[in-house]
Amino acid sequence: MLKLRKIDRRNVWDILKLRVWESQNSFVAGNDISIIEAYLAITENGYALPFGIYEGDTPVGFLMIGFDTDAYWDDAPPVAKGSYCLWRLMIDQNHQKKGYGKGAVRLALDYIKTFPCGKAERCWLSYEPENEAARQLYRSFGFMETGEKDGEELIAVLSL
């Protein structure tokens, strides 16, 4: 059964071993970078919720949820203010094409809808324009592209 587990000292090393295919490296930051970014967001009065994605006891991916902006995020897109963000999603190369990505997004949205960091009307995310798999996955949940960008990535929004 697929589940999310908070990253802690018991599982962080297993999550750091997970990798996407080399051809996917430009689509998602490494889990080490993501965990560092989570730490920095938290120390800068922001919200970051990093999770391991597990099938039973086997780690198969990484997911991170954010909320609002932090004190030092100078170039945050306007949609970030007061909204949840599906900040990162990766499925390990050995576990792709098994439905884990879709299952993880479903679990993340269920969690977000409990409003763990406060009430919000929207959840947003961004992805590289050439990442058609991400576009189709997020569209299947109702995320709609806004025409805005976060850096070079396309922004898509879902009403909660």
State pLDDT tens for residues 10-40: 999 999 999 988 988 778 889 999 999 999 9
Q: What integer pLDDT is reported at residue 67 of this predicted model?
A: 97
Give 45-77 pLDDT, tens digit per residue. 899 999 999 999 999 999 999 999 987 788 899
**Contact call for residues 70 and 38 (beta carbons, < 8 A):** no
Pair 89, 28: CB distance under 8 Å: yes
Dist. CA 135–CA 133, nearest whole Å: 5
Q: How far apart are the C-alpha atoms of 147 and 18, rounded to whole Å?
A: 32
Q: What is the pLDDT of residue 105?
A: 98
How far are the Cα atoms of 7, 14, 72, 131 from residue 32, in angstroms, in the given order? 12, 11, 20, 21
Domain that holds residue 121: 2-159
Count of alpha carbons within 13 angstroms of residue 29, beta-carbon side: 14
Between strands 47-55 and 2-6, the pairing is: antiparallel
The pLDDT, as a whole number, for residue 72 is 79
User: Measuring CA to CA, which residue among 20, 16, 36 is closest to residue 28?
Assistant: 20
CATH for 109: 3.40.630.30
Please report, rounded to a whole number, the percentage of residues in the chain having pLDDT higher than 70: 100
- Count CB neighbours of 83 within 10 A: 21
Q: What is the count of structural domains for the chain?
A: 1
**Confidence (pLDDT) at 147:** 95
Q: How many residues does the chain have?
A: 160
Q: Are 91 and 53 in contact (CB under 8 A)?
A: yes
